[in-house]
Amino acid sequence: MTSISIAHRPASVRPSPSIAAKALVTKLRAEGRRIIDLTVGEPDFVTPRSIMDAAQAAMRAGDTHYTASNGTKSLRQAAANKLMRENGLSYTPDDIVIGSGAKQLIQTALAATLNPGDEVIVPAPYWVSYPDLATLSDGVPVVVACTEEAGFKLLPSQIEAAITSRTKWLVLNSPNNPSGAVYSIAELTALGEVLARHPQVLVMTDEIYEHFIYDGERAISFGRAVPALLERTLTINGVSKAYAMTGWRIGYAAGPRVLAQAMTSLLSQSTTCPSSISQAAALSALSGDQTFVVEARRAYQTRRDRAVSLLDAIPGIACRRPEGAFYAYPNVAGLIGRRTPDGTWIESDLDLSQLLLREGGVSVMDGTSYGLSPYLRVSFATSLETIETGCAAIARVVATLD
Ligand code: PMP
């Protein structure tokens, strides 16, 4: 039997916990179990028809070939127009790179800049992929815990304390997955004042949930709030969340040209280019009618309000109202140390999420995966009915605890 020796890289990353949770739900359902899925990290809506039509037209017109490695000029121009129109950011198409999803661009930006031992500051709770993508490129994630009292947001004093001579990046994600936190212009400005004193630090600002901000508030781009740092800021965005296009795999990054060029060079040796058909669809999404986004935001706000009130009403759970994204991040400190009917202790949010799946048939993410415990991540990118039955199942299981 041949024994295959696997290099250090796969072992240095955890398989994405949210993708693993989705796979588990699929497996349990295939076994015949009825599972209520509140782990979903993607819109439940179907991609708008006009975007599908644009993809179909592109196929028929023969746009079925490789494109430039940084994406088609027309899509990069559309992204530049969008960044000016909606974010007040001035970029040319040459400063923009199209990738097969925002995730690929984050990975590529880190691969293009990190030398072994370089540090990446990741505020927690964080999207599960940032620390592992830093590790994958030989970097060292430096996790900084943001407390619930601080609205799950990084304080200027914390960033000052975390920066060293090896710091290469600060990763900001607003609106945040999983906490829903949204930074105000004043908060971004205050972080910018600290960063201005540390010229070696680049800022990666992941704004993929920018359209999902509630109660009439609006997102502010880091690069807009802190224009003095634009020359070392990489703005990450994509069409996955805004236009319910997760399966089309298109993201875009805008930043210093030298970085865009280095990323393009890496991409030319990996995927060559993103799907030409998906790029045509993304062009239509970014430059077409934006009604879908407004309607999706309205639907998410209703779902958020329902999810938060149902979760917060469960004894032992305290749920802060997220300002953005489509996740609630309820505090479950009141359930840690409690005992299940079969006599096992709940020692962590991971124990709790496993109990909820086993006894309640409801799948939620544990805060441990996002670097800040004891919390659960409950997605409300699903129907009101699923939210209601899911929260009822959580309440039922919690009521059995001693
Ligand atoms: N950033 C954040 C914060 C996310 O939650 C996600 C998707 N879960 C991504 C990036 C990746 O998006 P894409 O589909 O464009 O790769």
Q: Is 205 in the pocket of ligand 1 (CB under 6 A)?
A: no
The CATH code of the domain that includes 391 is 3.90.1150.10
Q: 3-state DSSP call for residue 16? A: coil
Q: Are 304 and 321 a contacting pair, CB within 8 Å?
A: yes
Q: Does 57 reside within a domain? A: no
Same domain, yes or no, for 121 and 207?
yes
Same domain, yes or no, for 239 and 173?
yes
Q: Is 332 in the pocket of ligand 1 (CB under 6 A)?
A: no
Q: Is 108 in the pocket of ligand 1 (CB under 6 A)?
A: no
Percentage of the chain surpassing pLDDT 70?
Answer: 100
Last residue of a domain, one of 287, 316, 345: 287
Res 380: pLDDT: 98
Res 17: pLDDT: 85
On average, the pLDDT of the chain sits at 96
Res 21: pLDDT: 85
102 CA distance to ligand 1 middle (Å): 6
Q: Does 325 reside within a domain? A: yes
Q: What is the DSSP letter of 24?
A: H
Q: Does 54 reside within a domain? A: no
2 CA distance to ligand 1 middle (Å): 38
Atom of ligand 1 nearest to the CA of 127: 3
61 CA distance to ligand 1 middle (Å): 30
| Side chain identity at residue 67, one-letter code | T
Asked whether the whole model's pTM tops 0.90, one would answer yes
Q: Does 89 reside within a domain? A: yes
Q: Is 98 in the pocket of ligand 1 (CB under 6 A)?
A: no
Same domain, yes or no, for 181 and 280?
yes
CA nearest ligand 1 atom 8, residue: 41
Last residue of a domain, one of 252, 287, 322: 287
Same domain, yes or no, for 145 and 186?
yes
User: In the predicted model, is pLDDT for residue 277 greater than 90?
Assistant: yes
Q: Does 55 reside within a domain? A: no
Q: Does 354 reside within a domain? A: yes
Q: Is 208 in the pocket of ligand 1 (CB under 6 A)?
A: yes
Same domain, yes or no, for 80 and 153?
yes
Q: Is 237 in the pocket of ligand 1 (CB under 6 A)?
A: no
Distance, CA of 13 to CA of 131 (rounded, Å): 9
Same domain, yes or no, for 365 and 280?
no
Q: Does 58 reside within a domain? A: no
Q: Is 324 in the pocket of ligand 1 (CB under 6 A)?
A: no
- From 18, 129, 179, give the residue whose CB has the most ligand 1 atoms within 8 Å, as the site to mutate: 129
Residue span of the structural domain in which 198 resides: 65-287
Q: Is 167 in the pocket of ligand 1 (CB under 6 A)?
A: no
Percentage of the chain surpassing pLDDT 90?
Answer: 92
Backbone angles phi, psi at 51, to 5 degrees: -75, -40
Same domain, yes or no, for 208 and 177?
yes
Same domain, yes or no, for 304 and 164?
no
pLDDT band at 1 (very low <50, low <70, confident <90, very high): confident
Same domain, yes or no, for 234 and 105?
yes
Same domain, yes or no, for 201 and 270?
yes
Domain total for the chain?
A: 2
Mean pLDDT of 7-31: 87
Same domain, yes or no, for 166 and 308?
no
Res 333: pLDDT: 98
Res 68: pLDDT: 98
Same domain, yes or no, for 369 and 270?
no
Q: Is 373 in the pocket of ligand 1 (CB under 6 A)?
A: no
Mean pLDDT of 345-368: 95
Distance, CA of 172 to CA of 154 (rounded, Å): 9
User: In the predicted model, is pLDDT for residue 81 greater than 90?
Assistant: yes
Distance, CA of 339 to CA of 83 (rounded, Å): 51
Q: Is 71 in the pocket of ligand 1 (CB under 6 A)?
A: no
Residue with tokens 């199942």: 393
The CATH code of the domain that includes 143 is 3.40.640.10
User: In the predicted model, is pLDDT for residue 165 greater than 80?
Assistant: yes
Q: Are 233 and 203 a contacting pair, CB within 8 Å?
A: yes
Q: Does 3 reside within a domain? A: no
pLDDT tens-place string over residues 124-141: 999 999 999 999 999 999
Distance, CA of 307 to CA of 297 (rounded, Å): 15
Residue 254: CB partners within 8 Å, gap ≥ 6? 79, 80, 83, 89, 91, 95, 96, 97, 234, 235, 237, 260
Last residue of a domain, one of 270, 287, 304: 287
User: Cα dist. 70→147, 206, 208, 260, 323 in Å?
Assistant: 38, 19, 19, 8, 33
What H or E segment, with its residue span, contains residue 307? helix 291-312
> What single string gives the DSSP state of each residue in 60-121?
HTT--S---TT--HHHHHHHHHHHHHHH-----GGGEEEESSHHHHHHHHHHHHPPTT-EEE
127 CA distance to ligand 1 middle (Å): 8
pLDDT tens-place string over residues 296-322: 999 999 999 999 999 999 999 999 999
